[in-house]
Amino acid sequence: MLRTHQTAYLGLGSNLGDRAANLLRAVTGLISGDLHLRAASSIYETEPVDNSDQPKFLNMVVAVTAQRLEPFSLLNYCLATELRLGRQRIAEKGARTVDIDLLLLDELVIDDRRSGTELILPHPRLHKRRFVLAPLAEIAPHLKHPVLGETMTHLLGAVNDVAAVRMYRS
């Protein structure tokens, strides 16, 4: 179902090259089309999760809006933006110039595959990752997880992830 004035929350990360510049290039690349930037979190420096043998990440979350956001089209747009910015998928959970994850799209709950692209909304690890919850709670503290029914602030306070997440100072 398509509605007008939809909001999507995107998680951005980078741990190769000029990490801060990569994030800003990603934001610019995302909003060069029909997407409008509604909010952007601070940038956080975070320890890698799942594969600790790589440089630290810079992470942030942005809220984007558009009149109509079709979930698979938005995901494919995020993946295409990653490619334009030099993303290479060499190793799973490996180092990357930029990573753009579709975290939430309004209250949609989706677990589907189309044309070889898998989409799960809300993002399946959203509530387990401090590096996502900290910036998301910063820009949308009262936003509720559509499955768990808890606010982002509550989820951040309850997360078991012990990885360090610190405000980035250049």
**Distance (Å, whole) CA 100 – CA 27:** 10
For position 154, which CATH number holds? 3.30.70.560
pTM score > 0.95 for this model?
no
Please report whether residue 20 resides in a domain: yes
Mean pLDDT of the chain: 91
Residue 32: exposure state from Cβ atoms within 10 A (0-12, 13-18, ≥19): exposed
Confidence category of residue 49, pLDDT binned at 50, 70, 90? confident
Give the tokens for residue 48: 């890698």
Please report whether residue 30 resides in a domain: yes
Q: Reply yes or no: is the peptide bond before residue 71 cis, omega within 30 of 0.
A: no
Residue 110 or 32, more confident: 110
Domains: count for the chain: 1
Please report whether residue 48 resides in a domain: yes
Confidence category of residue 53, pLDDT binned at 50, 70, 90? confident
**Distance (Å, whole) CA 15 – CA 99:** 9
Please report whether residue 154 resides in a domain: yes
What's the whole-number mean pLDDT along residues 36-65? 92
Range of the domain at 102: 6-167
Residue 99: exposure state from Cβ atoms within 10 A (0-12, 13-18, ≥19): buried
Please report whether residue 148 resides in a domain: yes
- Count the neighbouring beta carbons within 10 Å of the beta carbon of residue 25: 18
**Distance (Å, whole) CA 21 – CA 161:** 27
Please report whether residue 1 resides in a domain: no
pLDDT at residue 85, rounded to an integer: 87
Span 66-109, pLDDT tens digits = 988 899 999 999 999 988 888 676 666 667 889 999 999 999 99
